[in-house]
Amino acid sequence: MRHRVVVHCQTPGNFVGFLTDVVGMTVHTEIDLASELLEQAMGWPPSAGTHLWILGDGRHPSIHVMGIPPSLSGQVPDGLAVLSFTTDDLAKVLSETQPFTASPFSALPSAASGVDAAIGVIEGVTVEFMAPHGRR
């Protein structure tokens, strides 16, 4: 199963600069995220949405850097947002996850994320599982 790490920060350009200039990663994709996705996936209050940079080096799992919308400054601390795993069998993984979590994982809106996904919390860590459309 492939994985990725998502971080959120007040000055994402600075963190992206660190990852490109020091770590040697490359920005592969940049996308804007709607408030709806941030509200459901992150539990954040409504906002204008934010920008996301997807970085990697071509050989290793990616790091996603997400800006904290200015309207949420002081409400959302910098840090690890989500540990995410890609799977070919979302239903199986979610079933296997049940013994490790007190609450079931919640489905994310496919239209907002572009994939079938579910998110939940295990021991205080937000975990997401994603599958290409049609591979539930």
Residue closest to 97 by CA, chosen among 79, 83, 81, 80 = 83
Query: pLDDT category, 116, cuts 50, 70, 90?
Result: confident
Helices (H), the chain: 12-21, 35-37, 90-97, 110-113
Give the residue, 85 or 32, on which the prediction is more confident. Answer: 32
Summarised one tens digit per residue, pLDDT across range 17-30 is 988 887 788 999 89
Q: What is the mean pLDDT of residues 32-50?
A: 92
At residue 113, the pLDDT reads 56
Token pair in block for residue 24: 């040697």
How high is the mean pLDDT of the chain? 86
Structural Rg of the chain based on CA atoms: 15
Q: Is the pLDDT of residue 114 over 70?
A: no
Residue closest to 110 by CA, chosen among 37, 2, 5 = 37
Q: Where are the domains of the chain?
A: 2-131
Lowest mean pLDDT among 9-13, 53-57, 109-113: 109-113
Domain 2-131 in CATH 3.40.50.300: no
8 A C-beta contact, residue 136 and residue 90: yes
